[in-house]
Structure 1
């Protein structure tokens, strides 16, 4: 079984919208969270979808699931105080009703430009090798600076930006989240960090440059531009 675990429990504190969490902002008339889930809904290898959502927005999200016929959404879980807690709660819900050897693909609810090839590559990599981390080649020069002076310049040849999905067997993913909580960690950055911390070998999957996470207002406008390009291609054939 292959299960998408979508976490959308954030409040969007870096966005300027005062009325809606960022996952409910719309592009082309459709909420970002729906754009994101639709990729997994339409993918033939995805069996079920779990979503962690802000508790106070649960009813609104459930209405979207019905409206857009997102039939693979099997779990709607109240998000926690941190991203880690939201992901952990969703994994626990999945584990109560799924085989340990299921592949789980953990993905941001506000990363709506994922594509089918990346989803397939994540599943196949987990099945054939081990945990898969979607990533993009880093094309800028990285400098190290503790103050005003540049302390070091890091060669970029082997640098990549971690994206999502970040995928593993359900038993592996749940184990690292359980261990993190036992060790007093409640606010890790992502699944990749926990898998690495607890000794898992990770395998890279190439992701497109368009697979951005919408965190700021600038990100929103960049994503909207990508959607405009996609729409023009569809209209123009």
Structure 2
């Protein structure tokens, strides 16, 4: 399930949501989906998209041969509601034990190994959360002073995919809605809130989410280097 419902308020582009910004002639959302399109263990793809951009996205699906895109779902007012609507669409057409990977449409630097690791972890252990190790000092500060310097030995950043079986996904999202929660930050936070054990899947630091203009330029540089075969994945 690809979440592409954001408007990119922290980007400098005034005309396009960030998922439609292009690198090497393709929008970020297309780069992201192609990793799942090309992966042999991915059967179908659901995309949650801004309602006003649905037609444009459908054209991209056709133009780029994204044949595994089975559901295009209009997103809701919050990320949680958008993910929930897409999960409902999947649940209408898939078995409860289906493995679902929830990924950001603006994380185009995912790779096949990470997708496989998520699927394997869900099948063998349970809910899988992609993480990357923190390699800088983390501090706690509410004002201009630093209250605490946190030991980083056990600190990780949660990324995506965040993966689980479909029945578990529906359980936590339905429960959150019933309890009046409609704006949780991600699937991992809901899983943790409702007592599920989360298993870490180590991901590359390059698996960044394109949130700011700086992220976009960094991502474009990474694509340039990949194209020139100057770095490996």
Q: TM-score, normalised by structure 1?
A: 0.96
Task: Give 1:148 deviation, angstroms.
Answer: 2.5
Equivalent position to 2:128, from 132, 135, 158: 132
Aligned to 2:97: 101
Task: Give 1:174 deviation, angstroms.
Answer: 1.2
1:53 to 2:70 alignment: no
What CA distance in whole angstroms lies between the structure 1 residues aligned with 2:178 and 2:119? Answer: 28
Task: Give 1:183 deviation, angstroms.
Answer: 1.2
TM alignment of 1:31-110, pairs within 5 A: 31-110=27-106
Aligned to 1:197: 193
The CA RMSD measured in Å over matched residues stands at 1.1
Equivalent position to 1:179, from 159, 175, 179: 175
Task: Give 1:234 deviation, angstroms.
Answer: 7.9
1:151 to 2:158 alignment: no
1:224 to 2:220 alignment: yes
Partner deviation per Cα, 1:51-84 (whole Å, 9 max, x = no partner)? 0001111011000000011000000000111111
The number of equivalent residue pairs is 231
Partner deviation per Cα, 1:158-179 (whole Å, 9 max, x = no partner)? 0000000000000001110111
Greater mean alpha carbon deviation, residues 30-39 or residues 172-181: 172-181
What CA distance in whole angstroms lies between the structure 1 residues aligned with 2:218 and 2:13? Answer: 16
**What residue ranges of structure 1 are gaps of 5+ in the alignment?**
none
SS in 1 for 2:135: coil
What CA distance in whole angstroms lies between the structure 1 residues aligned with 2:54 and 2:150? Answer: 44
Task: Give 1:211 deviation, angstroms.
Answer: 0.3
SS in 2 for 1:233: coil
Q: TM-score, normalised by structure 2?
A: 0.97
Task: Give 1:147 deviation, angstroms.
Answer: 2.4
Partner deviation per Cα, 1:137-187 (whole Å, 9 max, x = no partner)? 001111112223222111000000000000000000111011111111111
What CA distance in whole angstroms lies between the structure 2 residues aligned with 1:65 and 1:151? Answer: 49
Greater mean alpha carbon deviation, residues 201-210 or residues 145-154: 145-154
Task: Give 1:18 deviation, angstroms.
Answer: 0.9
1:122 to 2:123 alignment: no
What CA distance in whole angstroms lies between the structure 1 residues aligned with 2:22 and 2:113? Answer: 24
What CA distance in whole angstroms lies between the structure 2 residues aligned with 1:143 and 1:55? Answer: 39
